[in-house]
Structure 1
């Protein structure tokens, strides 16, 4: 869609009242259209017979086949790209309430690829948003995500007559089952800031519900974040996050075990594995702890060279305890002076 994106950037400069909104929609739409899947055909010479073979079914009103032909024309990898024909086929399927067609047609119309004048471009954008909303209302999850994101990120209060309240409702419904919606909804609640501790408030309860969904989908960071919420079982979530090699969770679990605050369960990684995983992921506290234990040989077989290596890595990253320990190691005579010999 490089030519389409280029056309969009050229023409929307003329329409200063809607430029920012159009560009935002176009960015979302072009990314999503690029991910569409056409038939697995590499050569257009092979794709054309398939396209022709499908035509009778499409002309007979088969919405799924119409969508397939529209996407083939949209992508241009099996047959010659023709966005106008793609629009026609997708439109035929969309009016039959075929939600995937509505989804792709909505995106296509959000891109200024049809050489529209100002008045027609406004109509085109309104139509595109309308198709996305129809598919979203039918609980088509990719449409819910794209529609909500497009409306909620608009700088307009009511972009082309679409309500941000309704868009948030679509997002909330989608977030319960569609992970991209879940993560996006959580990002909006975070507003760029991730709390270290979250007390029992309405905002934290909203975040907690989203984090539960992500945690059950093997999201290590969601599991770790839940360990910081008031009322949650900290060790339960730390263990589950550490089993997915979450760096901070791995360090905190190892630290709790070493301080006799918790015992390792059979399914937990060993302490050395926990510290190594965290240290390799740049957790300086884990680097220091691993280096110290290896150098001293208290919990693991002594390995002074490797221990010094980890201590130096932590010190080079500005970790003061490692700097102090290295200074003591390098100056044994000063820290442990020999007793004076008696005459």
Structure 2
């Protein structure tokens, strides 16, 4: 299918729902029920400033018409006000106007659609060149997600440059840039040293922003301090990091630091987040009473959950526990079941 004639549904899927702010709510919804006389009064009060050329106010009126929550929705009027602000180099207006045009909200006929989409990308490029991060992200997503070499006459090289710039300051850009390098394979996909270095820089940015998974991923990178990143990820309750740190401590390969959660907390956190190895380790230690007070019913419960997830060691341990219970003499089972209070 030709890129220019994508259906609206396909076009939105290409851009990504996360790219849209106001429009993602529902650009084609009926106007909201909570419109009020007060909202229209505010709109009319702002009209003189907008008509006098104030780009901030023009953008505000455009967004009010776009949202349709306090005044009747009118996308054509929204386009007019945003266009007036956009030509005055008001980057937020350029960003919202670009979205409107890309979404084909005006039901352009096929002969006009190419022109409209080209104009929409043009506004996004202008805002991107002014270092507007949301525009840089949407511009990059649109172009880099296209199968064409130069969609709408725009350069993918320039789009990548905008993305690289944005990734240093805007976390959604950072995550998108990282996802493009990962190609769904995370650490295993590192076709060149340059790509690995780029990944490392992006992960540093996310790790410094309290991203637990970025910290855990850095613990796997060659040349990084594994324990440093593993601890920092575990302190943010990253499931796999919590399990691995607990396992290292239990095997006396690493001591806990004062800021680290206790071993029981680490295992419980990982187990509650569906890490089968953590479920197994926690369950076996509770059953055996090693390191933690014995709690056989709770331990068996964790082992069963782990076995249900296909973790073979848990299934085998449950079989051993059942075999041991079945082989106990009947009198011994009765004796062990009695509590000090009900013994004769």
TM-score by length of 2: 0.87
Distance 1:255 1:147 in 2: 45
Distance 2:21 2:129 in 1: 19
Contact 1:197 1:229 in 2 (8 A): no
What's the counterpart of residue 82 of structure 1? 74
**Pairs within 5 Å for 1:123-134:** 123-134=115-126
What's the counterpart of residue 32 of structure 1? 21
What's the counterpart of residue 18 of structure 1? 4
What's the counterpart of residue 85 of structure 2? 93
The correspondence for 2:305, drawn from 302, 310, 313, is 313
Distance 1:76 1:29 in 2: 23
Distance 2:58 2:66 in 1: 12
Distance 1:203 1:21 in 2: 34
Distance 2:244 2:113 in 1: 56
Contact 2:98 2:121 in 1 (8 A): yes
Structure 1: where are the runs of 5+ without partners?
Answer: 1-14, 338-343
Deviations 1:187-229 (A, max 9, x none): 0001111226979922211111111111111111111100000
Contact 1:171 1:185 in 2 (8 A): yes
Matched, 1:148 2:140: yes
**Pairwise CA RMSD of aligned residues?**
2.4
Displacement of 1:29: 8.1
CA distance 1:197–1:156, change in 2 (3 Å): closer
Matched, 1:206 2:195: no
Contact 1:24 1:150 in 2 (8 A): no
Distance 2:189 2:228 in 1: 16
CA distance 1:118–1:197, change in 2 (3 Å): closer
4+ residue runs over 6 A deviation: 197-200, 333-337
Higher mean displacement: 196-205 or 107-116? 196-205
Contact 1:171 1:181 in 2 (8 A): yes
Contact 2:67 2:73 in 1 (8 A): yes
What's the counterpart of residue 226 of structure 1? 218
What's the counterpart of residue 54 of structure 1? 46
The correspondence for 2:155, drawn from 150, 163, 169, is 163
Distance 2:58 2:202 in 1: 37
Distance 1:250 1:221 in 2: 11
Distance 2:114 2:292 in 1: 69
CA distance 1:126–1:199, change in 2 (3 Å): closer
The count of corresponding residues between Structure 1 and Structure 2 is: 319
Distance 2:133 2:143 in 1: 15
CA distance 1:29–1:311, change in 2 (3 Å): closer
What SS does the corresponding residue of 1:195 show, helix, strand or coil? helix
Matched, 1:68 2:60: yes
Structure 2: where are the runs of 5+ without partners?
Answer: 26-32, 330-344
Contact 2:182 2:189 in 1 (8 A): no
